Structure 1
Amino acid sequence: MKITKKWLKKLCQEQQLYSTPSCNEVLYLHYKGIEKIENLEEYVNLATLWLEGNAITTIENLDHLEKSLRCLYLQENGIETISGLTSLKALAQVNLSDNQIKSIDQDSFAGLDQLTSVQLCRNRLQDNSGLAGLVAVPNLSTLDLTGNNIADVRVLEQVFMKMPSLKVLMLVGNEVIKSMSTIGVPYRFTMVAALETLTYLDDKPVFDDERRAVSAWKAAGGLRLYLERGTLSDDEKRQIKMAAGEAMRVEREAIRVEKEAAHRKNMDDFEQMIRQARIDKGLDPDDCPLFRKTAGAGEEEADEDMPGLEDEEGEDVETGEESAAAGVEAEAEAEADEPEVGEASPEPAETVQGDTTFLTTAEDEASEVDVDEVD
């Protein structure tokens, strides 16, 4: 598919964009089978350009967007080399995921001081030297390298620790995570301790509590397991792990105690606020369900509707014999309440003799029996 001016105007009409190219700030050219970026010169005010899911192999012909373009989406193409971006001085976000990029040259993002987010998921990045171009981006805060082939543990000190603005880092799907564990270096602790500006690592945020605990781990020498991994003896590693682990445990306990104290204070403040509100309304502050005392140590509340529950040998618990006797008595009382035969007029019953049906009662039957006996 080739981009032509006529095709672009027709596309803008279909997408309900402006017919005047310079009036458009966004252009959707994704999944169109485009092989080359061209004929966009009239669209001088584009802030966002979608070129996702095409057959583009080279980033080119975007110099006219030097002052306007902020977001460029080039994922799912066939790009092998990052080029043609250095003139885009306003560029803040670029997505180059799902391409064929093997390395990032020193000048790939040169001069892009506004660039804060780079997505390079599922490319062919492998060597630490191939990531050198990322270090040259002074304000890069979000970096997604998910699903590449990065395996060298030195990438932390050679690349990431040289990025002062890095806040979000995605490394899921890279061998480096397993490599750190293999040499006895805890991956997440190490990354958070080494990158002090980090607020999000892989699929989890770095909360203040975690940062504080990891700082204690680092202060106790935990980061030495990584930085001095080639010189520490096994005994030194073991001692460092024990000391750093204990420091983290103590800090976590301190955090827990502080949170409980803060929670209690919040509840006390809330109670005081409610009490004052009731006083202001002329109500008894203690006559509130929230403040009524519940059963505590040495203090029990009586409930007349609920029978007392004690041990099996206690007085309030029925034994099996007592329960059975009570059942027998109940049955006897029920039988005593039933009417005896002859005391009430029972319902008549049907009797069939030949083709004739008679209604008879128990009294009639009894009379017949008496007559027979007399005979």
Structure 2
Amino acid sequence: MASMTRAALMDIVKEHKLYRTPALNDKLYCNFKGFTNIAGLEEYTGLRALFLEGNAIESLEGLSSLKELRCLYAQQNALTHISGLEELQHLNTLNISQNHISHLEGLSCCPELQTLICTNNQLRTVDSISHLAHCTSLQTLDLQHNDISDPAVMDVLRQLTQLRCLYLKGNPVVSAIRNYRKSLIAALPELKYLDERPVFDDERRLVQAWSQGGVEAERLERAAIKAEEQEAQRRNFEAMQQIRQEGWRKRRAALGLTPGDTDPALDEFSDSEYEFEREPEELVAARERLAAFTARPGEDEPPELSVARSQRAGAGLPVTEGSWAGAGAAPGDQQLG
């Protein structure tokens, strides 16, 4: 373990080729150094991002001179509580994941705090996160993989009126809240992302309908959304057709062709119905004779023959059981000859 001294900080400055004048640096990489405390930062007044990840720091005291700090990364340390942030009036992002924090506190003094990442800690009860109700600027909140189980946490989350991204995956409360996803989307009108999936406008419409009228209202809203999509597709198709037809009219005029709104490249093709070549009469007669007998077992036959046999049966004409004496033999060969 090591202490964070001015000499240690200067070594970091040299290692990362930062400014030798501390106040000129806007970031400082103190991660994975084995520090047990925060000290010696008094001259680093211009810092906007401080990286403290992967140390053994037990307290956040020692940051009071960093009044311009925006981002503080203190994950993977030995923190048990939150304090020492009173002077960080511009702090925007705080990462305190993978510590030993059992109670959120000391955050309301940061009026510009928008992102709080507090995964893999020891938060369990509603009381352990109730302090968040005073952090009204929060837009992103990540509480994954704690031990929060009380559905009453929704009462706290409802007070975060600007919350846009919420992560609760890995907490028992996800299973404890009935209709978890719908309930949270309905409770948080600005939410754009919940756990692993974004909240699209159509989903919010369905949730609002569900919250007001239950499953039947949701079904009707889903039908309305589908109808709107079909109408939008129809309008887009018609608009594209108008563009194409206008282009064809101009092309026909440029080529000196007769006026019209069809593709001039297709003028040489006829609009008359295609006439298929008629089958030989001998083939038709042979098929009608074979249709009077059942199919040869284990062999495929032309679909036209099956259709002819079905038509014969439908007309009330007999279909005789075929007698297949040998390979290649046809039933009633003598009669057909």
TM-score range, shorter chain: 0.7 to 0.9
Taking the aligned partners of 1:302 and 1:217, their CA distance within structure 2 comes to 56
Match of 2:102 in 1: 102
- The 5 Å alignment of 1:1-375 reads 1-66=2-67, 68-105=68-105, 108-157=106-155, 159-180=156-177, 185-220=178-213, 244-282=214-252, 285-287=261-263, 311-312=304-305
Larger radius of gyration: 1
How far apart are 1:111 and its partner, in Å? 2.7
2:102·2:124 contact (CA, 8 Å) conserved in 1?
Answer: yes
Taking the aligned partners of 2:84 and 2:49, their CA distance within structure 1 comes to 16
Taking the aligned partners of 1:302 and 1:261, their CA distance within structure 2 comes to 37
2:49·2:71 contact (CA, 8 Å) conserved in 1?
Answer: yes
2:248·2:262 contact (CA, 8 Å) conserved in 1?
Answer: no
Q: Tell me the SS of whatever aligns to 2:127.
A: helix
Taking the aligned partners of 1:121 and 1:300, their CA distance within structure 2 comes to 69
CA pair 142-149 structure 1, distance change in 2 beyond 3 A: same
Taking the aligned partners of 1:314 and 1:289, their CA distance within structure 2 comes to 40
Taking the aligned partners of 2:51 and 2:192, their CA distance within structure 1 comes to 28
Match of 1:230 in 2: none
Taking the aligned partners of 1:22 and 1:137, their CA distance within structure 2 comes to 30
Taking the aligned partners of 1:69 and 1:303, their CA distance within structure 2 comes to 81
Taking the aligned partners of 2:20 and 2:26, their CA distance within structure 1 comes to 12
Taking the aligned partners of 2:137 and 2:248, their CA distance within structure 1 comes to 55
Taking the aligned partners of 1:64 and 1:169, their CA distance within structure 2 comes to 31
> 2:196 is aligned with what amino acid?
D
Taking the aligned partners of 1:252 and 1:246, their CA distance within structure 2 comes to 10
Q: Tell me the SS of whatever aligns to 1:72.
A: strand
Q: Tell me the SS of whatever aligns to 2:252.
A: coil
How far apart are 1:302 and its partner, in Å? 5.9
Taking the aligned partners of 2:200 and 2:158, their CA distance within structure 1 comes to 20
> 2:161 is aligned with what amino acid?
P
How far apart are 1:282 and its partner, in Å? 3.3
- Residues 75-111 of structure 1 show CA distances to partners (whole Å, capped at 9, x for unaligned) of 0101000111121000001000100000113xx1123
- Residues 52-89 of structure 1 show CA distances to partners (whole Å, capped at 9, x for unaligned) of 111001001111112x1000000010100011112100
Match of 2:257 in 1: none
Q: TM-score, normalized by length of structure 2?
A: 0.76
Q: Tell me the SS of whatever aligns to 1:268.
A: helix
CA pair 164-310 structure 1, distance change in 2 beyond 3 A: same
Taking the aligned partners of 1:313 and 1:173, their CA distance within structure 2 comes to 61
Taking the aligned partners of 1:127 and 1:268, their CA distance within structure 2 comes to 57
Aligned residues: CA RMSD: 2.6
Taking the aligned partners of 2:221 and 2:199, their CA distance within structure 1 comes to 16
Taking the aligned partners of 1:300 and 1:10, their CA distance within structure 2 comes to 86
* Aligned sequence identity (%): 37
How far apart are 1:161 and its partner, in Å? 1.0
How far apart are 1:271 and its partner, in Å? 1.8
How far apart are 1:200 and its partner, in Å? 1.0
Q: Tell me the SS of whatever aligns to 1:311.
A: helix
Segments of 5+ residues of structure 1 without an aligned counterpart are 221-243, 316-323, 326-375
Taking the aligned partners of 2:306 and 2:193, their CA distance within structure 1 comes to 61
Q: Tell me the SS of whatever aligns to 1:52.
A: coil
- Residues 196-250 of structure 1 show CA distances to partners (whole Å, capped at 9, x for unaligned) of 1211111111110000011111111xxxxxxxxxxxxxxxxxxxxxxx1111111
How far apart are 1:126 and its partner, in Å? 0.6
Q: TM-score, normalized by length of structure 1?
A: 0.69
CA pair 300-60 structure 1, distance change in 2 beyond 3 A: farther
